[in-house]
Amino acid sequence: MTRPLGSPQRVVFGETLVELADGDRRIVVLDGDLGNSTRADIFEQAHPDRFFQMGIAEQNMLGVAAGMATVGFVPFISSFACFVVARALDQIRVLVAQPGLNVKIIGSYSGLLTARTGKTHMIFNDLAIMRTMTGLVVVSPVDEIEARLAMRAIAAHDGPVYMRLCREASPRVFDSSYRFHLGKATVLRQGSDVTLIATGVQTARVLEAADLLGREGVQAHVVHVPTIKPLDEKTILEAADRTGLVVTVEEHYEAGGLGGAIAEVLCERRPLPLKRIGIAEAWGESGPDDALLDSAGLSAQRDAATVRRFLREMGR
């Protein structure tokens, strides 16, 4: 089933910030000289008095945001995921996470699809880093509808948040009836043969893979996990019990991200066969989106093929 593309999450980020700031004078945006890429410039045009251009100085940007949070502002940090996580990690740890300050860290241009920026502008272990940061909520929405709702939820949440956004437009998975809740996973498709668990925009490709498998008689149970931390263990365990086989899929290294989080839960509470699909341990590279996804084994076709092999290995 081909799903229509929605607005890019970065555009939704800028538009929703404007809407939120219209009703909340506390909201400010700190930008790392990337506003026309992350689309924080949409906010800048609407609220120039609450937009702060911090330049290419991510450590300082987090320090300023922490200071603003201590006097009642709600700072949103706007930068590429690779820069805000890797360059400013100590500031996130000491100045934001340890005191539990109300700072929202938005990592745009996450994963593989970064418009041919190359390996210096790509990071594939941001979820692993941020989900192990004490006190931090970690969110990765699938489409424009969920991104908009997640923005509102993290703005209302009192505490530090990391949200991962994709640059490119992604297929719509949800409609206007969807309700987002921090810490809740969603079952997107019922099945009995294998449980597929995904996060972020990769969930849309996993749904397509489930469609391909369905044509061959394999009924996949698909779960979308938009909140990596706190993790919805109840829904995950129920999904694992349903099929007895679990495959995690993410646009992130295999180690430490969603697959690592699911493995931790299953190892302690429900030991059963688990296959993790993610990016192999390698640096990023420039290339067309479809080629990068296929090379990394994350296209719908490659996902489906990996699940087929796993089922054969398990005697299914």
Q: CA–CA separation, 184 vs 87, rounded Å? A: 30
pLDDT above 80: residue 2: no
Q: Which of 15, 44, 58, 144 is catalytic?
A: 58
Domains defined for the chain, CATH in brackets: 9-164 (3.40.50.970), 186-313 (3.40.50.920)
**Residue whose token pair is 């949070």:** 69
User: Cis (ω within 30 of 0) for the bond into 230?
Assistant: yes
Phi (first) and psi of residue 123, to 5 degrees? -140, 135
Helix (H, G, I), strand (E, B) or coil at 163: strand
pLDDT of residue 315: 87
pLDDT of residue 251: 97
pLDDT of residue 4: 86
User: Between these two residues, 315 and 242, which has the higher pLDDT value?
Assistant: 242
Phi (first) and psi of residue 133, to 5 degrees? -85, 115
**Residue whose token pair is 């990769």:** 202
Q: Annotated catalytic, 250?
A: no
Q: CA–CA separation, 303 vs 211, rounded Å? A: 11
The number of beta carbons lying within 10 Å of the beta carbon of residue 95 is: 22
pLDDT of residue 316: 83
pLDDT digit string, tens, across residues 128-164:
999 999 999 999 999 999 999 999 999 999 999 999 9
pLDDT digit string, tens, across residues 3-22:
888 899 999 999 999 999 99
- For residue 200, give every residue at least 6 positions away whose Cβ sits within 8 Å of its Cβ, in sequence order, or none: 110, 111, 140, 141, 142, 164, 166, 226, 250, 251
Averaged pLDDT for residues 230-248:
97
**Residue whose token pair is 């640059």:** 167
pLDDT digit string, tens, across residues 258-301:
999 999 999 999 999 999 999 998 899 999 999 999 999 999 99
Q: CA–CA separation, 27 vs 73, rounded Å? A: 6
**How would you write 28-62 as a 3-class SS string?**
EEEECCCHHHHCCHHHHHHCHHHEEECCCCHHHHH
Which two tokens mark 287? 């290339």
Q: CA–CA separation, 64 vs 187, rounded Å? A: 40
Q: Which residues of 52-89 are buried (b: 16+ CB within 10 A; e: fewer)?
A: bebeeebeebbbbbbebbeeebbbbbbbbbbbbbebbb
pLDDT above 70: residue 68: yes
pLDDT of residue 17: 97
pLDDT above 70 coverage of the chain, percent: 100
pLDDT above 80: residue 1: no
Report the chain's mean pLDDT, rounded to a whole number.
96
| CA nearest neighbour of 77 among 55, 105, 52, 51 | 105
Q: CA–CA separation, 106 vs 17, rounded Å? A: 12
pLDDT above 70: residue 63: yes
**Residue whose token pair is 């192990």:** 132
pLDDT band at 191 (very low <50, low <70, confident <90, very high): very high
- For residue 130, give every residue at least 6 positions away whose Cβ sits within 8 Å of its Cβ, in sequence order, or none: 85, 136, 138, 162, 229
Averaged pLDDT for residues 158-178:
95
* Contact call for residues 183 and 211 (beta carbons, < 8 A): no
The number of beta carbons lying within 10 Å of the beta carbon of residue 280 is: 10
First to last CA, the chain: 25
* Positive/negative CA dihedral, 112, 114, 120, 125: negative
pLDDT of residue 3: 82
What secondary structure does DSSP assign to 166-200, as a single string?
Answer: -SS--B----TT----TT--EEEE--SSEEEEE-T
pLDDT digit string, tens, across residues 195-228:
999 999 999 999 999 999 999 999 999 999 999 9
Averaged pLDDT for residues 298-315:
96
* Contact call for residues 156 and 170 (beta carbons, < 8 A): no
